[in-house]
Each structure stands twice: as structure tokens, then as C-alpha cells.
Amino acid sequence: MALTVLFAGGHLLIEDAPGVGKTMLARSLARALDCTVRRVQFTADLLPSDLTGVSIFNPQEHAFEFKPGGVFANIVIADEINRASPKTQSAMLEAMEERRVSVDGVTHELPRPFMVVATQNPFEMQGTFPLPEAQLDRFTACISMGYPARAAELTMLDHHVAADPLAALQPLATGADVLRAMAQVREVYLHPSLKAYLVDLVERTRSDARLVLGASPRAGLQWARAAKARAAMAGRGYVIPEDISALAVPVLTHRLILANQRNDRVSTADVVSDIVAGVPTPRRA
């Protein structure tokens, strides 16, 4: 899923319990790419200027110089993003959507490719600030790691205790390689019937009585790009219905708000699964 989001030109939110490997996954993705990487530990005292940058007066040059902030990298790891204040979180909005930041009236372009991989712990509420809907909507997908299987956990004890698991990981692609892959993804064919299928699914989220907030048009655009990326990674130059339905839960659930949030028996993932099951799948063209 991380590579799908990367090649789709999007951003990834990883949400799960502490210690399951959220940051490790983000670091592994960054290590596999020969790109610039910055890890920002989000805390309550993190300032917006720490992310976007600041203009500093140079007395020797008698002019202001721009000092880039934490978002100036190809891969930005936003660790525990929900620990920062809403004001600081909002500083990420322009960067994530426009791939640029404005400081003191001057616009600065971010490096390409640009991807934010954010982590957050949904179970620890003390000292956290829920991400606003506007920022959640800018994440192409949200995934959970889950606890590893017993065999995998035993393997971790064998290999991860004595050495850094990332030490042997070598870069597999450059930033230029990623940009070429993203260009190829944009050329993947999406049949009109599948476009209609995707829009039908998005519209169902807006009319479902169990939801007070459905998916936005931005969600549909990002979903289509992710479906194209999934098809390209499977070696196809065209999207099939499974490319769309398989991504429904990770692409939609974090954007939706339940009408009855006290009902623990129903989750946004359940609603999305029901919607996908209730919309007829178009025949393959």
C-alpha cells in the first residue's frame, strides 16, 4: 500500500498501537529510495515555522535568507502527527496539497517527488489533538499495521535484537525513477464504466444514513490515481474493478464520520464494505 500511494503521488497515514512498526515502515520506505528524507517528531511545542521554514536576516548580506523547514524533503516522516497543535497541523495543508509553502509572502516549491508518511496512535488521547477533516482528506490512504503473526514475531527476536534491521537495506530507486513511475501511472487507462463505478461508490457514502460526512470529490480523484497505481504495479496498463474495490477501505475510512460515534458495533470500515457490496461491479471492458 505504501508504494501504491507513493506512485499515485499521494500521502500515507499509518494508524495503530505503539510498537507495531509504524515508524519502521516509514523509515524502510525512505531508506529504499535514494531521496532526501526528513523525520519530524511532532510535539505540542512544535511550531508551524519548524515545518515550513523561516526567513532570517543576514547582517553581512543585509538581506533576509530563507531557512527551509522540516517539509523540504522528498519523503517527510511525520511521527505522531496528532501530538502537534492544530495550528501546526494546519501548516501541513498547503504543503500536502500544493507541494509548496508560503513564508512571508514568498512561495517556495517543495522537492519532487514529495510524500508525507504520517503516524499516529489512536488509543492514546492524552496530549493529542485529533487531525482536522481537511488534513485527513489530504491523505490518500490510511492503514493499520496490526500485530504480527507468531512466526514473524519470533523472527523479529532472532534478527532485530542484536542489529539494526534497516542497516542492510539498500536504495532500490532514485527520485527520478519514482517520477518516471508516476508518469507511467498517469497513463494507465480507466474505462468510463469504471469511472462511473467509482463515482457511484463515492456518492453512496454521502447518502448513507450511518454517516454524517461522506467522501469528498478529492477522495474520488485520489482513489482513481491509487487504482491506476495498483494496476501499474500489477503490470497492467488498464484498471480493473478489483483495483477500485480493493482500495475502498484504506482510501475512504479515515475521511468518513459516523452519525452515531458511540455505536462501537459499526465502524467506517464496515460502512465502506457494505457500500462496496451493494454497488454492482461493472463488467470488464
Q: In degrees to the nearest 10, what's the CA dihedral of 266, 262, 258, 89? A: -120
Tens digit of pLDDT for each residue in 150-197?
A: 998 888 887 766 667 777 788 888 999 999 999 999 999 999 999 999
Show me where the domains of the chain are located. Answer: 1-174, 187-285
Tens digit of pLDDT for each residue in 75-114?
A: 999 999 999 998 898 888 889 989 999 888 889 999 999 9
Most confidently predicted of 32-36, 128-132, 236-240: 236-240
Q: Is 59 helix (H, G, I), strand (E, B) or coil?
A: coil
Return d(Cα 139, Cα 95) in angstroms, integer.
Answer: 12
Q: What is the pLDDT of residue 105?
A: 86
Work out the average pLDDT over 133-153: 90
Any residues with CB less than 8 A from the CB of 263 and at least 6 apart, and which? Answer: none
Return d(Cα 76, Cα 86) in angstroms, integer.
Answer: 19
Q: What is the pLDDT of residue 162?
A: 62
Architecture label for domain 1-174: 3-Layer(aba) Sandwich (3.40)
Q: Which amino acid is at 113?
A: P
Flag whether the pTM goes above 0.75.
Answer: yes
Number of residues that this document lists for the chain? 285
Q: Which three cell numbers stand for residue 270?
A: 464496515
pLDDT at 123 over 70: no
- The model's confidence at residue 140, banded by pLDDT at 50, 70 and 90, is very high
Work out the average pLDDT over 117-129: 79
Residue 149, Cβ density class (10 Å: 0-12 exposed, 13-18 middle, ≥19 buried): exposed
Architecture label for domain 187-285: Orthogonal Bundle (1.10)
Question: Percent of the chain at pLDDT above 70?
Answer: 96
